[in-house]
Amino acid sequence: MKVKASPENIKLAGKIIKEGGLVAFPTETVYGLGANALNPIAVAKIFEVKNRPSFDPLIVHISRIEWLEKLTSQIDERAFKLIEKFWPGPLTLVLFKSQIVPDIVTAGLKTVAIRMPAHPVALELIENAQTPISAPSANPFGYISPTTADHVEKMLGDKIDLILDAGKCPIGVESTVLSLIDEEPKILRPGGLPVEEIEKIIGKVKIQTKSEKILSPGQLQRHYSPKTPVKIFKSIDEIKNPENSGILLFKKINLNIKAKRVEILSENGDLLEASANLFSALHRLDDSGVDVIYAQEVPETGLGLAIMDRLRKASAQE
């Protein structure tokens, strides 16, 4: 059931979380599918509804810094510097977990991924639930992430107890995941906080989006994928059979071909606007009946790194 994110409905959603149910809710990045992070049976429902593999860990969302100390066994000094600057916000920190975090949340790892979302509805929901909330994106596993409540309703519908609708997510790509468990900090998933901003606070970080063991959400080779095949292009000349194709442009250009559908992420090439529009544009192209989606390359600076990460994973073969 989709409802407006009014104070009354947020209280209802908090009650559902407390009682072991599932609630889809907005964050500044994408809509999340939330359950009580300390209730392994409730968390198991997330995996069941999403058809998510159990080796893929979940992010725990908190509304108060006190929870960070309860959920972790040790906190790196660098974490406090980043938290002071970027929380609430689209930064997830991977730290060593405490014993209260169920293994199903961390996929059996000794670490836990934690963030504080910068969305009033998300924060109010966590406060009302009186517990940290585990929440991956509110969609079937591997499919395009939802940036509106309508996306959630279309994909998960009556499989979940409640959908809180607070409009479109302003950032539109998932959080940046940063591991601080080693001396060298590592980006496990590029996202809504540009790497350059993190490096201003703690110095150089390594980008490690692939590893033998899945250490973070979003590390699988194929992810964020429409049902329609996606191909990344540099030049318009690479587009074949345009009349049956959908084209995803980074910015407005002169197209000398007639495509079945064209989506422009940002008229003037603004990366923040492009990231906010990425998943909605992919949803519209996927629903338009095209045979293939051609996606234009985006400059890999700032949020462009996260956009290209999502496009590469959307275009990966099974």
**Which residues are within 8 A (CB) of 157 and not within 5 positions of it... i.e. 6 or more apart?**
none
Do the beta carbons of residue 55 and residue 201 sit within 8 Å? no
Yes or no: say if 161 and 23 are a contact pair by the CB < 8 Å rule: yes
H/E stretch holding 294: strand 292-296
The C-alpha atoms of residue 234 and residue 77 are separated, in whole angstroms, by 42
DSSP string for 172-211: -SPPEEEE-SSSS-EEEE--SS-HHHHHHHH---EE----
Question: CB of 128 within 8 A of CB of 13?
Answer: yes
- Tell me the C-alpha distance between 267 and 159, whole Å: 37
Q: Which residues are annotated as a binding site for ATP?
A: 52, 111, 137, 145, 189, 224
Please give the annotated binding residues for L-threonine, written as ranges: 29, 61, 115, 135, 175
Annotated binding-site members? 29, 52, 61, 111, 115, 135, 137, 145, 175, 189, 224
Q: Which two tokens stand for residue 159?
A: 């499989």
